[in-house]
């Protein structure tokens, strides 16, 4: 599982020109699952570590401008977007290969479970894009602050 995490002032998603999700200050998460991620991933230590890391990572500024506050501490919002292209392989040719991405049925099940589990740990509003849809993602990255998290870090 790979996550691109961005600290945002605001973010929203449109599908076919219609806004389907929007948040204020918080985190935009682009979430992808790989071919090596199995249906047992939610029972792994890596899964729990990623959930904790998202809500407890100190990347929001305190009154002195230092990274000392977490999503939980600021009661920030979350916007999740399914993103199989995080597993795109661009080594050969000019068209990326997505053979390292999880099959759609497994990825959807993992994504839905991740949303549920994160909802239990998130302090405030959480929103999601539409799995498998063509989406326009709008955001104002604050900082900018962008982090990459990968379940392989804790495997």
Q: Which residues of 22-48 are buried (b: 16+ CB within 10 A; e: fewer)?
A: ebebbbbbbbbbbeebeeebbebebbe
The active-site residue, picked from 33, 60, 84, 87, is 84
Q: Is 146 a catalytic residue?
A: no
Count how many residues are written for the chain. Answer: 155
Q: Is 116 a catalytic residue?
A: no
Burial class (CB in 10 A: 0-12, 13-18, 19+), 142: middle
Q: Is 84 a catalytic residue?
A: yes
**E strand spans, the chain:** 2-15, 18-23, 26-32, 60-61, 67-69, 77-82, 126-128, 136-150
The active-site residue, picked from 6, 33, 60, 83, is 83
The active-site residue, picked from 16, 75, 85, 116, is 85
DSSP secondary structure letters along 15-58:
ETTEEEEEESSEEEEEEE-BTT--TTGGGSHHHHHHHHHHHH--
Active-site positions read 83-85
């Amino acid at each position: 599982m790979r996550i691109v995490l961005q600290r945002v002032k605001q973010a929203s998603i449109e599908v076919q020109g219609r806004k389907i999700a929007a948040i204020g200050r918080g985190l935009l998460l682009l979430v992808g699952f790989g071919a090596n991620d199995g249906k047992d991933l939610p029972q792994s230590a890596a899964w729990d570590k990623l959930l904790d890391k998202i809500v407890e990572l100190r990347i929001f500024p305190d009154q002195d401008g230092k990274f000392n506050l977490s999503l939980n501490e600021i009661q920030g919002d979350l916007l999740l977007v399914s993103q199989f292209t995080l597993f795109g392989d661009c080594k050969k040719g000019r068209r990326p290969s997505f053979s390292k991405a999880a099959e759609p049925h497994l990825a959807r099940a993992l994504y839905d479970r991740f949303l549920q589990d994160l909802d239990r740990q998130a302090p405030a509003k959480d929103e999601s894009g539409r799995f498998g849809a063509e989406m326009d993602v709008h955001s104002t990255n604050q900082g900018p602050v962008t982090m990459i998290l990968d379940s392989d870090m804790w495997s």
